[in-house]
Amino acid sequence: MERKKTRRIMVGSVPIGDGAPVAVQSMTVNDTRNIPATLEEIQKLASVGCEIIRLAVVDMEAAEAVGKIRKQSPIPVIADIHFDYHLALKVLEGGVDAIRINPGNIGSQEKVRAIVDRMKDKGLPIRIGVNAGSLERDLLEQYGHPVPEAMVESALRHVQLLEKEGFYDIKISLKASNVPDTIDAYTLMSERCDYPLHIGVSEAGPLLSGTVKSAVGLGYLLAHGIGDTIRVSLAADPVEEVKVAWGILKSLNLRQRGVNVIACPTCGRLEIDVVGIAQRVEERLAHIKETMDVSILGCVVNGIGEGKEADLGIAGGQGVGIYFENGEVVKKIKDTDIEEFIIQQVEARAQNMRDGKIPAAGKNGLPMHPAMGRS
């Protein structure tokens, strides 16, 4: 797929736009003023592949906490601010990698200029975030509903306020909980400007339904070359947001990270516990960052052929498992040994990747998730 050409900005050490890898973001759920809990959450999210984290800044105490958190965060920090420009100035004093603020909501152009001047001095970007549920009243009156055209017009209004001050280090998001509206809004915006786009389906819902909506909406956009950063917004643990985001990117071969478990659906031919083994293997190997495809297949109809396409895998049946590695049958093992055996083989292969004995990339040659340090 050909990605849309967008401008390059930097969020800390993470490049955004202009062909850079699509970055995975999330947002903390802990009160930002609780610094230890927020840092613990950030560490957990970073360990599963979160590359940029956003923090809610609800008052001056939270704004002061952001600077302290940033000093210890393993990944870049975005401060999420609404209405009060003093909070933006405070987080910029303490240290932050970007801010999310809609300039049309903070008052006069002089207030916008005060923020922009500080941002220019520090070389930091601004994210403009438009949600269908909070559009300006005059746009709702004009369009009747928060339609994609209204969302785009709202975003461009905010952009113009920044461009008026000669500021162009901008990232834009236009989120709706409705998947078709989200797709149409981002598609229209991608035609109207070349600023990088942060894509997401807002308020997608609980884990299952939210994952489906996000996969459909974001998958469509990414497959059409639209999107420079991604957040999956779930009513669930943010760790799950990051996992789903990576799943979407991996399914489109846009990014590679960790173990990709390939497992067959259940049917009457199964003679091993494919469902249980696949689920446990995926959970037990979640800490692996090295990229590889692992097949766990439950019968001989497709198992041998599909297993050979993986870096390593098992096709099981009739009390035995046939182990494949790099497309070749290596050995037979007992069906009761499959889970532990495959875990051991993956761990060994990951260590060989870390030691440089085999390439640290999947079959398609795409790079694995890079180590993102503090800027």
Dihedral sign for Cα 175, 176, 182, 186, please: negative
Q: Are 291 and 320 in contact (CB under 8 A)?
A: no
Residues in Cβ contact with 219 at an 8 Å cutoff, skipping those fewer than 6 apart = 248, 251, 252
* Distance (Å, whole) CA 346 – CA 47: 19
**Which residues fall in the annotated binding site?**
264, 267, 299, 306
Among 364, 107, 137, which residue's Cα sits nearest to residue 249? 364
Q: What is the CA radius of gyration of the chain?
A: 23
**Which residues fall in the annotated binding site for [4Fe-4S] cluster?**
264, 267, 299, 306
Q: How far is CA 319 from the centre of its chain?
A: 40
Task: Locate 134 and state its tokens.
Answer: 């909070």
* Distance (Å, whole) CA 322 – CA 306: 12
* Distance (Å, whole) CA 115 – CA 85: 7
Helix, strand or coil, per DSSP, at residue 83: coil
Helix, strand or coil, per DSSP, at residue 337: helix
